[in-house]
Structure 1
Amino acid sequence: MALVDRIKRFLASPKGQQARARAERMARDPRTQAKARGLLARFKGGGKGRRPM
């Protein structure tokens, strides 16, 4: 079974709908948005200002 078909089936299930609702709530949270922006900035920034891990 193709991965896309499995994802579609999951999203149509009750558990998938709960996961989608949770993700939508998290997307509206300003703290979650700030974390996502920070991660994107880190990846987009390339080598500038990188901290050693």
Structure 2
Amino acid sequence: MSALVQRISRFLRSPQGQKIVDRGRREMAKPETQRKLKQLASRLSTRR
């Protein structure tokens, strides 16, 4: 399992990985995305 974690870590440090991380941060900063995630979390928590 640690080999997989190492591969993911290497990818995230690469230029392509950094591009994906930056895009994710920008998306998470949007209020619309945060609202959708809160709705999803509340739906998932009420199912249990």
Kindly name which structure, 1 or 2, has the bigger radius of gyration based on alpha carbons.
1
Question: Normalising by the residue count of structure 1, what TM-score does the alignment of the two structures yield?
Answer: 0.80
Question: Normalising by the residue count of structure 2, what TM-score does the alignment of the two structures yield?
Answer: 0.87
TM-align CA RMSD: 1.4
Partner of 2:30: 29
Alignment gaps of 5+ in structure 1: 48-53
Count of paired positions: 47
Which aligned segments of 4 or more residues in structure 1 are displaced greater than 2 angstroms? none
